[in-house]
A and B are shown apart, each in its own frame.
Chain A
């Protein structure tokens, strides 16, 4: 097992946002965590990334316990989060965003990864000297993903990458995730857009008010009446 979360509890003051969540991701998989707004999806991802400390529970990646690590240390293990709302640095150029994403890398590895990121996203290379603020929403999302590829590359966590994008761009982003996954990156995808997420993920977990309500193969969940009613508008 590449990655495992066990009985995770996270709270903000006395708001208990995550209440005993457990799930697993195998090497090479795309797994999705779907849930409505406020279900606790971002809280889970931010806790995994080391931005929040859990009250209790285990987070194990490659046999390493992530709970005591700070966010910049988690990154060193090859795990990268594409945060909600993209959070690219608008006052830095496209190139500088990628350069910063490889902060811990040596020059050779850094250049190799940036080159690969530009090969994957030629649009970004054309805009390499442009400030992040001046990119379109779709380009910003590409940059956010490219940044995570440079930083980690082995296990990518994405927090609602489809948010705020036109449907056609959402298609692109999901297609690109499939490609990145095919090239060896394990993906944990958090989405409100259950439709698309269930299409590309092999397995899914359904999160409701901080607890996992359902889990299973995406093909089964798509047919589940509860899921259809709550998340697929059926």
Chain B
């Protein structure tokens, strides 16, 4: 295998990991509330900007900044749910979707007003990059960081959802929320916890995005990335966390390899997004519920 292929493979793994981290936030919230949190892309942006706060304003290094961002963003996520979504739980799906879009606009424009329109980047020494040379393949520590940290978070999340009683409660709510309180479980607490985890993962993606793609931090960064991650979640089967990871990876690989192979046959890289989305649409035509999705039972 040639070296550029392997390098592209790592690029795809990196991008896919980031989409997957964001897609998890959509899918977890959908799992417990059947709500598509259209503000999630902007939550991701908020997480990245908490990184600006930690690194530039507080002068902190990567790890404390990451933790700060995840906690602050989780708090934001829980607050948004309490203030904006909870009052609408009994309302129509449409009101909730419109509210989510409005929350997103509020976050984007609020952040714009606070920080201005100039794109930001993290300090150069925020995460010291080294490049390893293995044979003719070179790989940066940033790429390794993104991939390893993302996979560590996936594994932690899977274990949490599989093994702990809170994880069981999340799965139970997504199956049939009627009976969950009868088990002695406060539904509100499980919903808050789900928002905290989903938005915390989005924040981690935001910080890693800023490290992986410097100078890409602006207050609208969450729009396109958020849409793509949402589509990844749908392709994987929204509501299913394995699906979010697989869907994110598929999208990452398509986005990297379409231009890579397209180049060879003379296709311009502007075809990246159309081809990526066409492929995702094809998957959805074949499996309308996504790769891992099951048709939802209608329960009263």
Contacts and interface: CB of A to CB of B under 8 A. Distances in A.
Interface stretch (B44-52, B89-97, B182-190): B182-190
A89 B186 contact: no
A75 B183 contact: yes
B171 interface: yes
Interface stretch (A26-34, A92-100, A164-172, A222-230): A92-100
Contact of A50 (B168, B171, B181): B181
B36 interface: no
A100 B176 contact: no
Contact of B178 (A87, A90, A96): A87
Tell me the interface secondary structure of chain B in the complex. Answer: helix
Given A99-B165, A100-B165, A103-B165, A89 B172 contact: yes
Interface string A173-198: 00000000000000000000000000
A31 to B, nearest CB: 20
B171 A91 contact: yes
A89 B171 contact: yes
Given A92-B171, A96-B168, A100-B165, A87 B179 contact: yes
Interface in B162-202: 165, 168-169, 171-172, 174-176, 178-179, 181-187
Contacts of B176: 87, 89-90
Contacts, number: 67
A87 B177 CA distance: 10
B169 A103 contact: yes
Interface in A29-84: 49-51, 70-72, 75-76, 80-81, 83
Contacts of A88: 179
Contacts of B165: 99-100, 103
Nearest to B299: A87
Interface string B128-172: 000000000000000000000000000000000000010011011
B168, B178, B182, most chain A CB atoms within 10 A: B182
Interface string B62-106: 000000000000000000000000000000000000000000000
Contacts of A103: 165, 169, 183-185
Contacts of B181: 50-51, 70-72, 75
Given A89-B176, A90-B175, A92-B175, A81 B182 contact: yes
Interface in B196-215: none
Contacts of A91: 171-172, 174-175
Contacts of B171: 89, 91-92
A81 B179 CA distance: 9
Contact of B175 (A80, A89, A99, A102): A89
A75 B178 contact: no
A50, A76, A92, A100, most chain B CB atoms within 10 A: A100
A80 B185 contact: no
Contact of A101 (B175, B183, B187): B183
Contact of A151 (B168, B175, B184, B186): B184
Interface of B: 165, 168-169, 171-172, 174-176, 178-179, 181-187
Top 4 closest pairs, chain A to chain B, by CB: A71-B181, A75-B184, A87-B179, A104-B184
Interface of A: 49-51, 70-72, 75-76, 80-81, 83, 87-92, 96, 99-104, 147, 151
